[in-house]
Amino acid sequence: MTIDDPARPETTEAPPSHTAPDSPAAPAAPAKPTAWSALRPLVLRMHFYAGVLVAPFLLVAAASGLLYALSFQAEKVVYAHELEVPVGETTLPLSQQVNIARKVNPNGTVTAVWPGAEPGATTRVLMADPDVPEDTQLAVFVDPYTGDVRGQLPSYGSSGALPLRTWIDGLHRDLHLGETGRNYSELAASWLWVIALGGLLLWLGRRRRNRRALFVPEGGPASRRRTLSWHGSVGLWAVTGLVLLSATGLTWSRYAGENIGIVQDGLGGATPTLTATVGGAAGGSSEHEGHGGAHTGGTAAQGPDIGLDKALDAARAAGIDSPKISLVLPTGGKGYVVKETDTQFPLELDSVALDPADGTVLDRLRFADYPLLAKLTRIGIDGHTGVFLGLFNQLALAALALSLILLILWGYRMWWLRRPGRPAARGAWRRIPVTLLLPLLAVTALVAWFVPLLGLSLLLFLAVDLVLGLVSRTRAKAN
């Protein structure tokens, strides 16, 4: 993401001449104009404005994203007491563990249970509790071997983020400013792919002696040339990941995310849903939440209930064989829902709904049966949030965030070294052939409509540019 001053000509490295010293130099033939030579000033000017004005938003997003990528491992250290226990010889039945959790928080309503996925991991009993923040649940951590309660913490989202990661996630998502703050992250995601691809075109379009200079930064004393070399080379290595981060970030943004969802649904790529309604029980009263006081802590049971342990056995028999699962309890006319939650490759994300009366399978949903777009969306979001491929995913996110921070800082350094940093000459679009300009305008309008914050900020850039041009012409006339 170059924040550069293209007003000055770029230095190019011409190959050594083999013409004899006494031979008169042959007049150079005028270069035939190309589409890139016509587009380059426009790309350069847009890259300059976007880099100067949007880079602060990207810097905040990258810094908070770096913290988020590291928060997974930090969470394991900070909450080790709640998450880990000594391995015992036998585990207690799930129903008994849930009863223990109910006793320490009798006012909570159990909604789901996450059995420990590996030896030495606690069982997480999730409860709806009015004392925890909105959109979170209270997690009671139970030692599956002894039944000791290791602690209680708010848990957020399908990945079960605990308070540290939840706070960092909120910082990255909306700066803890709610819906208004989400505009910052959507603006950053909207421009990230534009700036990254624009920088890639500018870097590839430079003339150089060898291909090595394309991929490997230059050494030598500190200078603008060396900074540009590092900026371009690191940007080349990072561009694919940055574009993917932008695309996946937009999928759940406020405005562009809605448009993406409409297109995905229209192409038949909507994520399928599991039907867990018990026959004849749909629309039942809320008292149905009390399936078996033994596991909800609510009212008495409204009908037969096989219980947690038999529900888990029935799910295993139905093919839910991943060690990482979430067992959602019956509520409001719905049956048990047992979901695989292993997002590491190969993905195990099948789910099954069971009739609480006898464990009969009500519905089954295999991840292999998802439409391709739904699969890609799920993998993309999991990759963006750091839960796909585990530690490798988190390290890759950290590397991308760090590279984006460095790219921005290098860009500002180059701008400072070439201050006052004027952009390319105005009117570059007028030199673009009409056959190229009209499709470009059409694509720009379509993208601006589809990604609204990109379109609005682009109009702002144009307004700023017009004002600066007017001021410049006024000063020129005055002199």
Q: What is the DSSP string of 189-232?
A: HHHHHHHHHHHHHHHHTS--S-THHHHS---SSS-HHHHHHHHH
**d(C-alpha 255, C-alpha 72), whole Å:** 29
pLDDT digits (tens, 9 = 90+) for 167-189: 999 999 999 998 889 999 999 99
Sequence-distant (≥ 6) Cβ neighbours of residue 364 within 8 angstroms: 274, 318, 319, 350, 351, 352, 353
Strand partners, 139: 126, 153
Judge whether residue 365 has pLDDT over 60: yes
Which token pair is 123? 């069982």
Phi, psi for residue 365 in degrees, rounded to 5? -135, 115
Q: For residue 290, what pLDDT is reported?
A: 34
If you ran DSSP here, which 8-state letter would residue 335 be given?
-
**Do the Cβ atoms of 291 and 305 come closer than 8 Å?**
yes
**Do the Cβ atoms of 313 and 336 come closer than 8 Å?**
no
pLDDT digits (tens, 9 = 90+) for 389-415: 999 999 999 999 999 999 999 999 988
Alpha carbon separation from 295 to 6, 135, 289, 311 (Å, rounded) = 67, 22, 10, 12
SS3 155: strand
Alpha carbon separation from 304 to 94, 292, 330, 332, 358 (Å, rounded) = 18, 8, 12, 15, 8
Q: For residue 10, what pLDDT is reported?
A: 42
**Do the Cβ atoms of 98 and 110 come closer than 8 Å?**
yes
Torsion angle in degrees (nearest 10) through CA of 32, 36, 42, 44: -110
Judging by DSSP bridges, how do beta strands 325-328 and 336-340 pair with one another? Answer: antiparallel
Lowest mean pLDDT, pick from 120-129, 232-241, 279-288: 279-288
Greater pLDDT, 305 or 241: 241
The radius of gyration of the chain from alpha carbons, rounded to an integer in Å, stands at 29
Lowest mean pLDDT, pick from 135-139, 278-282, 372-376, 447-451: 278-282
**d(C-alpha 336, C-alpha 329), whole Å:** 5
The pLDDT-based confidence of 299 (bands split at 50, 70, 90) is very low
Question: How many other C-beta atoms can be found within 10 angstroms of the C-beta atom of residue 432?
Answer: 17
pTM of the model: 0.84
Q: For 147-165, b where at least 16 C-beta lie within 10 A, e where not — what string? A: eebbebbbbbeebbbbbbb
Alpha helices by DSSP H, listed for 252-358, are: 256-266, 293-296, 308-317
The pLDDT-based confidence of 418 (bands split at 50, 70, 90) is confident
